[in-house]
Chains A and B, each alone.
Chain A
Amino acid sequence: MSARPLYLDNAATTAVDPAVIAAMTDCLGSDGNFENPSSSHAGGARARQLVEDARERVAALVNAAPNGIVFTSGATESNNLAILGSFDADPRARQHFVTTRIEHHSVLDTAHALQIRDVEVTLLDCDAEGIVTAGQVLDAITDATVLVSIMHVNNEIGVIQDIEAIARTCASRGVRLHVDAAQSAGKIPVDLSGWGVDLCSLTAHKAHGPKGIGALYVAGGVTLAPQLHGGEQERGLRAGTLATHQIVGMGKTFELARPERDGPRLAKLRDMLWRGLGEIDGIRLNGSRDRSAPHILNVCLPGIEGESLRLALADIAVSAGSACASDDPEPSHVLSSLGLSDALAQSSLRLSVGRFTKPADIEWAVERIGAEVARLRALANGAPAWCST
């Protein structure tokens, strides 16, 4: 049996922290808090208290009021609830949605669903580093704009958008702002109340928590139409029996996350990776050097065919483009938006570090990537310019 690949794909998902596993396990067995949090008996009340404790922990990490946290199955559901829920609750006959070309597919595909309903959609372009400005948002807003949705940290290139400035802009026009913070919560400071964000999607599994649990922050006074029906859980916004173990797991995950401690450590590992890979001739950074999340490094290795690159590095778990799109031969929509050719987009790798990544892992990865790039470039020696431009 072959050795487990070195895991440098923490932007796709993360290993669950042992302390989180322990907290979740306590909610599963007959001697634990397995009861339904909606039940009126003592066990139900205990489970309900655990859910509320978790709600407070999640809220604390992103500086939000606990009663604004609505638990969902993850950021994809949160994005759908925020967007579709906003449009369904808005009475205007003519509606407009503003987002960017580099959002996660759970936002872009939902935007497409809105278009089918005759909602006008504006997709903002980013610059060559992946940045979208508050000025672009301001220019796009019309009298019919119901919602602006901008991700905080891009999942492929790690660029950080200036949410504070965008929130000010939206507030100045009285337009609701939704932020997808799936990649940022726990890695960099998130200040939802301070920034004045109306809606924010969160997830546990990107921060060493379990998959299948997330949350939508809904600011006071923001009305949403529920997208699931069949119960009054979560203030009637998300029907379904609350998954105590998942919610407790997310609470513990957010309790353990310390951006002020974890961010610099992750950035140190990322910078070590970039310094090492920077020795490779012609390597390019996709994204922004100055405005980048600490855990994501996206690089382009010109002259290397994408599929061969991925097979050559099969002993390192990385993503080509995004994990959601890695089996898709089409180049990443994010990298294409930066202006990369198809060949360069497919010659790109996203490497992402996490809590369990060690400096020795980075040293080994740098050595392996350098060796395989040299081997594949030698094999393609003499190839025409289109292979590397």
Chain B
Amino acid sequence: MNYSPEVLQRFDLPQADGVFPDETEGVVRGEAEDRSLGIWVRFDVRVHEGLIRAVRFHLYGCPHAIAAASLICERLEDQPARSLSAIDLQVVADSIDLPVEKYGKLLKIEDALLECWRSLGDSRATSEPGNSRHPGEAKDS
């Protein structure tokens, strides 16, 4: 298997791996897995005032999956929370020269991010009843 420089760099130094300290507020979690594809991924996303402030991940999977998760974490920072449900997978795939047979793993990574987005909605809906927007969005966004 040949790997692009982007994959090799992110595999060696994934950057956004890990978790936030326990006391960190505004963190939502999303997780997805597929045993047949050999991937499990979990994202912790810290959102404040409708913006993604930081993202961390844990992942069991191949080097391309690690690189994809690392890249997505980096690109999500300082973006509106709704970006969690609007990742352009083809851009990610192109950035890391993802082999087509591994695309299913990228879909699992997307599933974990969508779960974060739903969790964010659930947490805000619970704390702010009556809010008609998606609770993850800032009112001025």
A residues apposed to B, CB below 8 Å: 303, 305-308, 311-312, 327, 343, 346, 378-384, 386-387
| Partner among B8, B11, B35, B40 whose Cβ is within 8 Å of the Cβ of A380 | B40
B35/A379 in contact, CB under 8 A: no
| Partner among A311, A312, A327, A383 whose Cβ is within 8 Å of the Cβ of B60 | A383
A387/B62 in contact, CB under 8 A: no
Most chain B C-beta atoms within 10 Å of own C-beta, residue among A303, A343, A379, A386: A379
In this complex, what residue of B is CB-closest to A343?
B38
B63/A307 in contact, CB under 8 A: yes
A-B CB proximity, top 7 nearest: A380-B60, A383-B60, A307-B62, A387-B60, A383-B40, A311-B63, A386-B35
B40/A379 in contact, CB under 8 A: no
Does chain A have a CB within 8 A of B104? Answer: no
* Min C-beta distance of B109 to chain A, whole Å: 14
Complex CA distance for A121 and B38, rounded to whole angstroms? 34
* Min C-beta distance of B19 to chain A, whole Å: 8
* Min C-beta distance of A378 to chain B, whole Å: 8
The B contact surface, by secondary structure, is mixed
A311/B11 in contact, CB under 8 A: yes
In this complex, what residue of A is CB-closest to B102?
A307
Does chain A have a CB within 8 A of B74? Answer: no
A305/B60 in contact, CB under 8 A: yes
A308/B58 in contact, CB under 8 A: no
B3/A311 in contact, CB under 8 A: yes
B62/A305 in contact, CB under 8 A: yes
B residues apposed to A, CB below 8 Å: 1, 3, 8, 11, 14, 17-18, 33, 35, 38, 40, 42, 58-63, 66
Complex CA distance for A366 and B10, rounded to whole angstroms? 24
Known: A311-B11, A327-B1. A379 touches B38 (CB 8 A): no
Complex CA distance for A229 and B40, rounded to whole angstroms? 55
Query: Which residues does chain A contribute within 8 Å of B58, judged by CB atoms?
Result: 379-383
Complex CA distance for A181 and B60, rounded to whole angstroms? 39
| Partner among B8, B62, B66 whose Cβ is within 8 Å of the Cβ of A379 | B66
B33/A384 in contact, CB under 8 A: yes
Query: Which residues does chain B contribute within 8 Å of A312, judged by CB atoms?
Result: 11
Complex CA distance for A308 and B7, rounded to whole angstroms? 11
B60/A303 in contact, CB under 8 A: yes
Complex CA distance for A343 and B62, rounded to whole angstroms? 12
Complex CA distance for A382 and B29, rounded to whole angstroms? 13
In this complex, what residue of B is CB-closest to A388?
B60
B61/A305 in contact, CB under 8 A: yes
B66/A307 in contact, CB under 8 A: no
B1/A380 in contact, CB under 8 A: no
Known: A379-B66, A380-B40, A386-B35. A308 touches B1 (CB 8 A): no
* Min C-beta distance of B105 to chain A, whole Å: 11
| Partner among B17, B18, B66 whose Cβ is within 8 Å of the Cβ of A308 | B66
Known: A303-B60, A308-B11. A379 touches B1 (CB 8 A): no
B1/A307 in contact, CB under 8 A: yes
A379/B59 in contact, CB under 8 A: yes
Name 10 extra pairs, CB < 8 A, besides A308-B11, A311-B8, A346-B38.
A303-B60, A308-B63, A311-B1, A312-B11, A379-B58, A380-B40, A381-B58, A382-B58, A383-B60, A384-B40
| Partner among A343, A346, A382, A386 whose Cβ is within 8 Å of the Cβ of B42 | A382
Complex CA distance for A327 and B1, rounded to whole angstroms? 7
Query: Which residues does chain A contribute within 8 Å of B17, judged by CB atoms?
Result: 378-379
Complex CA distance for A57 and B17, rounded to whole angstroms? 58
Complex CA distance for A312 and B10, rounded to whole angstroms? 12
Complex CA distance for A305 and B1, rounded to whole angstroms? 15
Query: Which residues does chain B contribute within 8 Å of A382, judged by CB atoms?
Result: 42, 58
Complex CA distance for A97 and B38, rounded to whole angstroms? 37
In this complex, what residue of B is CB-closest to A346?
B38
Query: Which residues does chain B contribute within 8 Å of A380, judged by CB atoms?
Result: 40, 58-60
Most chain A C-beta atoms within 10 Å of own C-beta, residue among B33, B35, B60: B60
